[in-house]
Amino acid sequence: MTRTGGPGAGGTGRAEGAGLARVTLIAAAAAMGGFLFGYDSAVINGAVDAIQQRFEVNSAVLGFTVASTLLGSVVGAAITGWLADRRGRISTMRIAGVLFAVSALGMALPFSIWDLTAWRVLSGVAIGIASVIAPTYIAEVSPAAYRGRLASLQQLAIVLGIAASQLVNYLLASLAGGSAHNMLGPLQAWQWMLAAELVPALVYLLVSLVIPESPRFLVRVGRADEAGEVLGRVEGGGDRQVARRIADIREALGSERPARLRDLRGRFGLLPIVWVGMALSAFQQLVGINVIFYYSSSLWQSVGVPEGDSLLLSLFTSVINIVGTVVAILLVDRIGRRPLLLVGSAGMTVTLAATAFAFSHATVVGDTAQLGFGWGVVALTGASSFVLFYGLSWGVVVWVLLGEMFPLRIRAAAMGVATATQWLANWLVTVSFPSLRDWNLSGSYLIYTAFAAISFFFVWKCVKETRGKTLEEMTG
């Protein structure tokens, strides 16, 4: 295989450079689904307390409403392999874009907490689809030498979406007088926060009209000539190299029929590689990262930070996440996937433990926990450092691995199962946190600390390095 962007001079070097630029733009366009994924997942952060006041619900109902998106995400992730193998990668992206747009309007104009919950479930289906199809597509159009960096664009888009939602939340709350439950024109500020998602949803639909179909899917459905054109544009090389790549894809596919769930069967119920993918997905969530993004505003208010300042702290957390993601993009194809995961697990264990220790010094006054300045600084530093370690490791690398680690003949189906596991774990963490926080804030962080520590040993024992391998070399 000719590696795009490798050593060369003259016309060949320019052609390879142009090919890398082209595939980067294609990958970035596909990663718009990740932006919507991040925005939709985190925008609720600024609206949580206002929703509770508007509909007068208790913590359990509020937690269920916040987490309901994740139940939809499980469904979306589970059906994406089936959709992607039958309708194609691009058509599947368009379906997600429509669902994002429709659910954004529904969430902004709810009649009750229960129809708001239903719209959040629908938005979750869109998130689940986008979370599977973007890394799958990017891995399938990317040259092996650059696949880690290009696949990392998915996570970069997610954290940019999270940051954008936090910025929008802060600005809208400020315009409404500092609180998300204040009126801003005909609607409350939190409704505008949710409605703003319509803009990136429409952009996502537009970009899906101009990017090419995955060459692996085109070969599967007998459109080899079109696959050759796409491979020539994104990987470079002459007719012989392209023909060899198509032959490699055909051999790796093994069968022209789409993969089914029963193709994932193996020892202990599933193939070992599928179990590894599911475990990676679960650990990515069980360390508690989305507690920071779903509940960070409420969390900081619970320790005495005013609402306006807590929204600003949430935006600061998102910026830290972006920094970590950029670091991972720079390193993932240089030092590999496994070392980054090990560093991240170790760092998350230490920083989560520090945060738990700081919260153990909170003083409860009525319904509010308060931290002194010194312990508040420790808590903020620990939580921010945790996000940094997560961003430079598990946040990026798990998506890279899921997009590339499975054999081609089962990739879409295995990716769907692994991602559905991720959303189930995400739902478990999200729905349980309000109750855990009310029980013992420090104790809840100790639980996440334990999962971070276990993840280190899991990677050490079970995860193989995939850096530099073509997708056709992945055999499980």
Query: What are 102-156's pLDDT values in tens digits?
Result: 999 999 999 999 999 999 999 999 988 988 888 888 888 877 777 778 878 887 8
Predicted confidence band at 439 (pLDDT cuts at 50, 70, 90)? confident
- Give backbone dihedrals phi and psi of 184, rounded to 5 degrees, phi first: -135, 90
Please say if the pLDDT value at position 63 is more than 80: no
At 295 the pLDDT is: 55
At 371 the pLDDT is: 67
Please say if the pLDDT value at position 96 is more than 90: yes
At 2 the pLDDT is: 35
Please say if the pLDDT value at position 425 is more than 60: yes
Mean pLDDT of 218-222: 84
Q: What percent of the chain has pLDDT over 90?
A: 24
Please say if the pLDDT value at position 365 is more than 90: no
At 109 the pLDDT is: 93
More confident residue, 270 or 457: 457
At 470 the pLDDT is: 61
Please say if the pLDDT value at position 1 is more than 50: no
Give strand pairing partners of 187: 184
More confident residue, 151 or 343: 343
At 11 the pLDDT is: 46
Least confident span in 105-109, 239-243, 339-343, 368-372: 368-372
- Mean of the per-residue pLDDT values of the chain: 81
Mean pLDDT of 229-246: 76
Mean pLDDT of 87-94: 92
Q: How far apart are CA 433 and CA 179, in angstroms?
A: 23
Mean pLDDT of 153-174: 85
Please say if the pLDDT value at position 68 is more than 80: yes
Predicted confidence band at 366 (pLDDT cuts at 50, 70, 90)? very low
At 460 the pLDDT is: 94
Please say if the pLDDT value at position 298 is more than 70: no
At 114 the pLDDT is: 93
Please say if the pLDDT value at position 228 is more than 90: no
At 282 the pLDDT is: 95
At 268 the pLDDT is: 67
